[in-house]
């Protein structure tokens, strides 16, 4: 029998890394920067948080506040540096955005695997992973009153603070983009940087600002994946395709952070659906069938992209200058 009370929380925790990545990438793309390095940035955010958590745990001290703040700050610092690197290459040096993004994804994965492997060697461990269970326990602490509310608490209040932080950041991003002067100017830069420049808007500043903030938000998705979803266990290559799913989610949500919240839950549900096929339809899946179900989020994204293209509504289209470098001399 299908159990919604167990299904929904699994969909949520599966979708939260995607929501962090999609929110960060939406802010980036609204400035006209197409950052395909998001998977690498999420990977770097995860390993930087792991490095901070590892050395704090090795120190022998355990303070709840520091156990959260040290990995969090390390994650943000690593993600910020990746964002700055992308901006320097594409905004300052005007390198091709697609090539730069793909190169940064490759670099980010290599960076994470190198330092992850190095920490495993430091531990002289016989297993190919790092377990930071004490710090992960702090990260995974749910709201204290969740169990008292029965099934309602299980569905809505049984998550860690990083789940609610992801939703809050998406809401803040939506408000900034649609209700503030900063958001209006950012969207102007993404639509037509030459016109924005002529109106006195600092195009370079906005591109740097949006891309770096977006990278930091995306990096939190990597930290959440390790500390919460994986219970503090880092294993090289375990992040999978979640960074690419986050980029797909941006398209699915038509560049709207509020839609990304719902989309992340849907993607998470589709990603874990294979576990519930037996309960839904009474069909037992063989192992080769599981990847077919895990590709459903991409199929849904393609369908949405087709529908958006056919309807051709401006509010559902990407920024007009997305992926194009701005040359002030070409005005």
* Residue 280 confidence (pLDDT) above 60: yes
Report long-range pairs for 85-88 (Cβ below 8 Å, ≥24 apart). Answer: 86/33, 86/35, 86/37, 86/211, 86/215, 87/33, 87/207, 87/208, 87/211, 87/212
User: Residue 186's pLDDT band (boundaries 50, 70, 90)?
Assistant: very high
Reduced to 3 states (helix: H, G, I; strand: E, B; else coil), residue 131 is strand
Q: Under a CB-based contact definition with an 8 Å cutoff, are residues 89 and 95 in contact?
A: yes
All structural domains of the chain, each given as residue ranges with its CATH number in brackets, are 7-321 (1.10.3470)
- pLDDT band of residue 53 (cuts 50, 70, 90) is very high
Residue 288 has pLDDT above 60, yes or no: yes
Provide φ and ψ at 233, rounded to 5°.
-100, 120
Sign of CA dihedral 59, 60, 64, 65: negative
What pLDDT shows up at residue 227?
A: 95
**What is the model's pTM?**
0.93
pLDDT at position 1 over 60 = no
**Choice between 315 and 141, residue whose per-residue pLDDT is larger:** 141
The predicted pLDDT at position 330 comes to 65
What pLDDT, in 10s, does the model give residues 108-124? 999 999 999 888 888 87
Does the CA dihedral 146-150-155-156 come out positive or negative? negative
For 8, 84, 91, 111, 285, the CA distances from 79, given in Å and listed in that order, are 30, 9, 17, 12, 38
Query: What pLDDT was estimated at residue 69?
Result: 96
Quick one: pLDDT at residue 308? 73
Tokens of 23: 């929110």
Interval 120-139 mean pLDDT = 85
Q: Model confidence at 331, in pLDDT bands (50, 70, 90)?
A: low
Give the 3-state secondary structure percentages of the chain, helix then strand then coil, rounded to 5: 75, 0, 25
Cα atoms in the Cβ-side hemisphere of radius 13 Å centred on 232: 18
pLDDT at 314: 76
Q: Determine phi and psi for 234, rounding to 5 degrees.
A: -100, 125
Q: What is the pLDDT of residue 290?
A: 73
Provide, rounded to the nearest whole percent, the portion of the chain with pLDDT above 90: 63
Strand intervals (E) in 12-64: none
Task: For residue range 309-330, list pLDDT tens digits in order.
Answer: 777 777 788 999 999 999 876 6
What pLDDT is recorded for position 281?
63
Mean pLDDT over each residue of the chain, to the nearest integer: 90
At 273 the three-state DSSP class reads helix
Measured between alpha carbons, how far is 147 from 73 in angstroms, rounded to an integer?
31
Maximum average pLDDT range among 32-41, 51-60, 239-248: 32-41
261, pLDDT greater than 90? yes
**Of 239 and 116, the one with more pLDDT:** 116
Per residue in 206-215, pLDDT (tens digit) is 999 999 999 9
């Amino acid at each position: 029998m299908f159990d919604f009370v167990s299904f929904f929380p699994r969909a949520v925790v599966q979708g939260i890394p995607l929501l962090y990545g999609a929110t960060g990438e939406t802010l980036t793309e609204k400035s006209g920067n197409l950052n395909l390095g998001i998977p690498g940035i999420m990977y770097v955010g995860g390993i930087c948080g792991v490095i901070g958590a590892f050395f704090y745990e090795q120190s022998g001290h355990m303070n709840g506040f520091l156990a959260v703040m040290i990995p969090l700050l390390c994650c943000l610092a690593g993600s910020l540096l990746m964002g700055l690197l992308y901006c320097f290459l594409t905004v300052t040096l005007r390198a091709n955005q697609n090539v730069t993004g793909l190169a940064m994804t490759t670099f980010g994965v290599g960076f994470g695997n190198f330092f992850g492997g190095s920490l495993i060697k430091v531990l002289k461990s016989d297993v190919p992973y790092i377990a930071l269970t004490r710090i992960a326990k702090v990260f995974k602490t749910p709201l204290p009153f969740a169990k008292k509310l029965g099934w309602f608490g299980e569905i809505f209040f049984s998550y860690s603070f990083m789940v609610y932080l992801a939703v809050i950041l998406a809401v803040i991003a939506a408000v900034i983009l649609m209700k503030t002067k900063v958001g209006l100017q950012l969207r102007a830069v993404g639509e037509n940087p030459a016109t924005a420049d002529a109106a006195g808007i600092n195009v370079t500043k906005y591109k740097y600002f949006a891309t770096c903030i977006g990278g930091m938000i995306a990096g939190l998705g990597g930290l959440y994946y390790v500390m919460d979803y994986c219970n503090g266990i880092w294993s090289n290559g375990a992040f999978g395709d979640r960074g690419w799913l986050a980029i797909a989610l941006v398209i699915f949500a038509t560049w709207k952070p509020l839609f990304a919240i719902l989309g992340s839950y849907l993607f998470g549900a589709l990603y874990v659906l294979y576990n519930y096929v037996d309960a839904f339809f009474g069909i037992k899946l063989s192992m080769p069938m599981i990847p077919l179900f895990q590709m459903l989020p991409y199929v849904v994204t393609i369908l949405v992209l087709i529908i958006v293209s056919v309807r051709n509504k401006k509010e559902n289209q990407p920024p007009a200058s997305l992926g194009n470098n701005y040359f002030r001399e070409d005005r």
